[in-house]
């Protein structure tokens, strides 16, 4: 099995330990064999060596909330879901390539059209298509009168049970419900009934799968905390009481700052919809910042701006997260949300060799994540920038 030694200015292993200066990490096949200082390996290393120069080595990034068929850079993208399965698949392939080049080595896809995510996951796993390893939800489940452009409408307890079972049979790793809208609303409506939500939760957990829900707040958020959902998505408009309950629960929250904070994300929307996001920007910022300060367990995702996870990590810092905590939201805590923390999220012997090299130190400058030079996924070199040489 091929052994490769990567050397770099520093290494941040993602465990919270201090960075290793003048560092080295040894891989064997698709696994990490050891981590240490360059000097530990001497001159007689039995394998090949890649010197990454001034780069900082980090765990591969994990986008905890995206949709392969959604590309928020497309003008009027909400109208671009009914273009046919071939175009959706081509879009997904483009999006996965952008993610991987940006250092996203794992992506949690929380709802896609036509089971495109199932085929993409298989294609990536067999090295047929470049992209992150995928954790998939298959079809998102929404109420016929509710939100969820990328989801499918279903209603009734027995129908919900059947659809969850079909998603699991198709290869879902997580079950995803759409409970609320996304833009500000008063009151915040939860579209599915309690009975429908309970049925989806029961079917997911009986099969050993986690369940999550698109939920910006309101009674749906309270219900999910009461029922013991594994995760929730967005949380843009939470009350102080809800944030306290979240912090004291086992439920995790995936924050997605870009829809409310990124003008790039909003600029491609129809003007009326964009205005809705802009009107809620300050309230969404306050809610997400309060979650960060509360001690709740959170991760981060892009929700449509593929390859731009670094931007969302930067927003976490803007909202008060320490850089190390923001980085954990895209690495170690992200791996926990995906149920993959024994395999990913930190750089340690025995874990999968997913890692990136960036220029700068993201513990002092979150923008360093925008300067990805090297990407290694499952031990395979995907990208090797100008500051590295074999």
Q: Which domains does the chain have, with CATH numbers?
A: 3-60+345-384 (2.30.40.10), 62-337 (3.20.20.140)
pLDDT (mean) for 317-342:
97
**What would the pLDDT profile of 273-309 be if each residue is shown by its tens digit?**
999 999 999 999 999 999 999 999 999 999 999 999 9
What is the percentage of the chain residues whose pLDDT exceeds 90?
93
Q: What is the dihedral of CA 272, 276, 137, 31, to 10 degrees?
A: 110
Q: What is the pLDDT of residue 389?
A: 44
Report pLDDT for 386: 64
Average pLDDT over residues 232-259: 98
- List, as one string, the DSSP characters of 187-217: SPP--S-HHHHHHHHHHHHHTT--EEEEEEE
Average pLDDT over residues 28-44: 92
Per-residue model confidence (pLDDT) at position 42: 78
- CA–CA dist 174, 346 (Å, integer): 22
Name the burial class of residue 193, with classes exposed (0-12), middle (13-18) and buried (19+) by CB atoms within 10 angstroms of its CB.
Answer: middle
Tell me, what's the pLDDT at 343? 98
pLDDT at 82: 84
Instruction: Give the length of the chain.
Output: 390
pLDDT greater than 70 at residue 390:
no
Q: What is the pLDDT of residue 361?
A: 97
Q: What is the pLDDT of residues 108-118, one digit of tens each?
A: 999 999 999 99
Is the omega angle on the peptide bond into residue 187 within 30 degrees of 0, that is, cis? yes
pLDDT of residue 80: 87
pLDDT tier, 128 (very low <50, low <70, confident <90, very high otherwise)? confident
Q: Outline where 238-320 has alpha helix (H).
A: 240-247, 258-261, 263-267, 271-279, 281-294, 309-318
> Is pLDDT at 388 greater than 50 in this prediction?
no
For residue 185, is pLDDT > 60? yes
Q: What is the DSSP string of 226-260?
A: HHT-SEEEEEEE--HHHHHHHHTSS-EEEE--HHH
pLDDT at 380 over 70: yes
* CA–CA gap between residue 383 and residue 369 (Å, rounded): 15
Round the average pLDDT of the chain to a whole number and report it.
96
């Amino acid at each position: 099995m091929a052994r490769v030694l990567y050397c770099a200015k520093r290494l941040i292993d993602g465990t919270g330990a201090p960075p290793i200066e003048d560092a080295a990490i040894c891989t064997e096949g698709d696994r990490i064999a050891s981590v240490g200082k360059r000097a530990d390996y001497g001159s007689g290393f039995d394998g090949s060596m890649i010197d990454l120069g001034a780069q900082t080595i980090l765990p591969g990034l994990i986008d905890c909330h995206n949709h392969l068929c959604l590309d928020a850079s497309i003008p009027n993208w909400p109208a671009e879901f009914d273009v046919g399965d071939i175009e959706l698949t081509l879009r997904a392939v483009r999006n996965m390539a952008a993610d991987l080049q940006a250092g996203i080595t794992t992506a949690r896809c929380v709802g896609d059209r036509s089971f495109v995510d199932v085929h993409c996951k298989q294609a990536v796993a067999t090295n047929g298509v470049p992209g992150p390893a995928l954790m998939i939800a298959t079809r998102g489940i929404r109420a016929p009168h509710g939100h969820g452009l990328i989801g499918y409408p279903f209603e009734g307890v027995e129908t919900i049970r059947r659809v969850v079972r079909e998603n699991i049979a198709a290869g879902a790793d997580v079950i995803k419900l759409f409970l609320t809208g996304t833009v500000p609303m008063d009151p915040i409506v939860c579209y599915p009934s309690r009975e429908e939500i309970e049925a989806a939760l029961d079917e997911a957990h009986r099969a050993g799968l986690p369940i999550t829900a698109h939920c910006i707040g309101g009674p749906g958020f309270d219900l999910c905390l009461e029922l013991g959902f594994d995760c929730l998505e967005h949380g843009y408009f939470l009350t102080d009481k809800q944030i306290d309950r979240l912090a004291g629960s086992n439920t995790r929250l995936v924050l997605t700052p870009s829809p409310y904070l990124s003008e790039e994300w909003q600029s491609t929307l129809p003007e009326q919809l964009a205005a809705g996001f802009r009107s809620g920007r300050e309230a969404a910022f306050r809610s997400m910042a309060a979650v960060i300060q509360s001690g709740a367990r959170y991760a981060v995702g892009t929700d449509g701006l593929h390859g731009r996870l670094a931007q969302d990590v930067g927003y976490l810092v803007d909202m008060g997260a320490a850089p190390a905590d923001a980085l954990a939201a895209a690495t170690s805590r992200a791996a926990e949300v995906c149920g993959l923390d024994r395999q990913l999220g930190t750089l340690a012997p025995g874990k999968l060799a997913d890692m990136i090299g960036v220029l700068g130190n993201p513990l002092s400058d979150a923008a360093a994540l925008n300067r990805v030079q090297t990407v290694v996924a499952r031990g395979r070199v995907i990208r090797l920038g100008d500051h590295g040489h074999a």
